[in-house]
Amino acid sequence: MSSEIVKDYDGVVALLKQKHRNVDPFLMLKSSMLTRKYPGEVKQRFWLDMYVKHGANEEKLSQEIQHMVDKIPSSHGHGHYEIVLQTDLDTVLTLARHPEIEWVGGEVYPNA
CATH code of the region 2-109: 3.30.70
Predicted confidence at residue 111, as pLDDT, reads 85
The answer to whether 104 touches 95, Cβ cutoff 8 Å, is: yes
Whole-model pTM over 0.95: no
pLDDT digits 0-9 by tens, 73-110: 999 989 999 999 999 999 999 999 999 999 999 999 99
Percent composition of the chain: helix, strand, coil (DSSP 3-state, to 5): 45, 25, 30
Residue 35 gets which letter from DSSP? H
C-alpha pair distances (Å), 40 with each of 13, 37, 44, 59: 26, 9, 11, 37
Q: Domain residues of the chain, as ranges?
A: 2-109
Name which residue leads in pLDDT, 112 or 102: 102
